[in-house]
Amino acid sequence: MSHWIPTPPALSKLTDHAVQLEGEHLLGKRIALLVTGGIAAMKAPLLARALRRQGAEVTAFVSDEGLRYVTAESLAWATDRPVICKLGPRAEHLSDTDRFHAYLVAPATYNTINKMACGIADGALTATLASALGRLERGECAILVCPTMHGSMHTRILTESLERLQRFGVTVVPPRDDSGKHNLPDEEPIVVAVSRAISTSSLRGKRILVTGGPVPVKLDAVRRLGSRFTGALGITIAKDLAYRGADVHLILGAGSSAAPPWLCACIAQSLDDYRAMVLAALDTAPYQAAVLSAAVADFAPTVVRDCKVKTSDGPWTVELRPTAKVIDAVHERFPALHVVGFKYEETSTHEALMATARVRAALHGACVANRGEEMKQGAPQIAWLVTPGHDPVRLEEKPVIAAAIRVHLEHVAATHRMAHNEGLRWRSASG
C-alpha cells in the first residue's frame, strides 16, 4: 500500500509500560540487567522487555560508559522501574532487601569481563558483580554474561578470564559471531539462558527427545505423501521444556515450520529417516523421556518409483500399505522409557477416542488425543491429556498443551518414576 488512511489503533487493556505476557517461565523472578559500555547497550531496552514478557521483574544497572549508547530514561521505561546509575546510601550493589535471582551482564565488554574475573570493584556495576559472585558461591543466585567485542579483542587474557568465571559457576551466553565480531544474540536465546540458569524444575538437566511435524513417505524421485500438520506444536513443546532447563533434542519431519536456531533440531526427510533418527538418538545417549508428536505417515506405497513419474505417462495408480508404528519400535527396544504419544482421529466419538488414549497411556506413559471435529479452521487447538489413573484433562491452544505435558513430565521426574533408556536396554537384554 502506498497510502495509509489514518485510523486509531485498536484498544488495549495494557498500560503504556506493561508488556504482553508470552509465557510464565520467569514469573516471580527478579533479574538484574547490567548494561556496560558497548554499542550493543542500545539493545538493552528490548532485552528488558523480552525478560518481562516471561514474567520477570527487571532492574537495570548501567555504567557511565553504557549511558553513551542507551539512556536511563529508555531503560526506566522498558523495565518500569528506577535505573541504578550510581551507588548511594542504600548500597544498591548489595541488594540486601530485594534479592535477585539472576544477574545478567548484557552486553559484557572486554573491560568488565576481565575486571570481574580479577575481583575489581571500582564502579556501580563491578561492585554489584563482586557482591553477586559472593551470592553465587553460596548458591543464592545465577550470573550470566554475554560477551560482545571486536574479534581483535578476543585475546588469551579474555579466554582465561571467561574460563575462570565459568569455573566459578558463571554462565557464559555464546555470542552471535558476525563480521569478525562477537555480537549480542537475539533476545530469545538470552531469555532462555536466564530461565535455564535459575530453573528449579525437576526436568533441569534431563535429556528429552521431542518429535513433530509431518513425516512423509516417498512416492517417486521428487514426490512425497504426507499430512497437513506443520510441527508448530512439537516446536512449542520443545521450547517450553528447554526454558525449564531440559536438554531437548528435536526431530522434525520435512515440511515442518522452522525451529528457532537456538534449539537443537534436525530434519527427517522421510519415514525411514525418521525411524532411524529416533532410534539412533535413543541408542546413543540416555534419554529420560520422549514426546513423540510427529504426524508420521500411516501408509506408504508398495512400490516407490526411482525416477520422476511423467504426466504424459497417463494415470498413475498407487497401492498403499500400512506402515509400522515408530512408537511401537521405541517401546519394544526401550520398554520403560516414559513416552508421551499422540493420537489423532476423525469421525470418531469423544468416548471412543478417550478409550484408545487410555490404552496407549497405560502402555507408554501418557497420550495426547484430539479429533478433527474439535479442530475447526481458525479456532484454538483442543487436545486431551490422558494419563494412567486420572481423568482426561481438556487443553486449549498450543502453549497450554505444551505446558501441561511439561508439568506431567515434571511430576514423573519428581516422583522418581522417570527411568532413562540407557541400562534399561541392558537389563532387558541380560535378564
**Portions of the chain given CATH number 3.40.50.1950:** 30-198
Give percent above pLDDT 70 in the chain. 96
> pLDDT by residue (tens digit) across 162-198?
999 999 999 999 999 999 999 999 999 999 999 999 9
Task: Compute CA distances 254 → 257, 269, 276, whole Å.
Answer: 9, 5, 15
Q: Which comes out higher in pLDDT, residue 221 or 111?
A: 111
User: Which pTM does this prediction carry?
Assistant: 0.91
Please compute the mean of the pLDDT values over residues 36-48 and round it to a whole number.
97
CB-CB contact of 122 with 115 (8 Å): yes
Is the dihedral angle over the CA atoms 352, 355, 356, 361 positive or is it negative?
positive
Cell of 303: 512400490
- Between CA 330 and CA 294 the distance in angstroms is 14
Report pLDDT for 224: 87
* Helix runs in 44-142, H state only: 44-52, 72-79, 110-118, 124-137
* Residue 225 backbone dihedrals phi, psi, to 5 degrees: -110, 120
State in words which class domain 30-198 has. alpha beta
CB-CB contact of 61 with 125 (8 Å): yes
CA neighbor of 147 nearest in space, from 101, 201, 193: 193
Fold classification of 207-430 (topology level): Rossmann fold (3.40.50)
According to DSSP, the residues that pair with 267 across neighbouring strands are 252
CA neighbor of 172 nearest in space, from 159, 181, 188, 186: 159
Give percent above pLDDT 90 in the chain. 79
CB burial string 410-431: b at 16+ within 10 A, e below: bebbeeeebbbbbebbeeeeee
Report pLDDT for 378: 67
* Helix runs in 244-338, H state only: 271-284, 326-333
**Portions of the chain given CATH number 3.40.50.10300:** 207-430
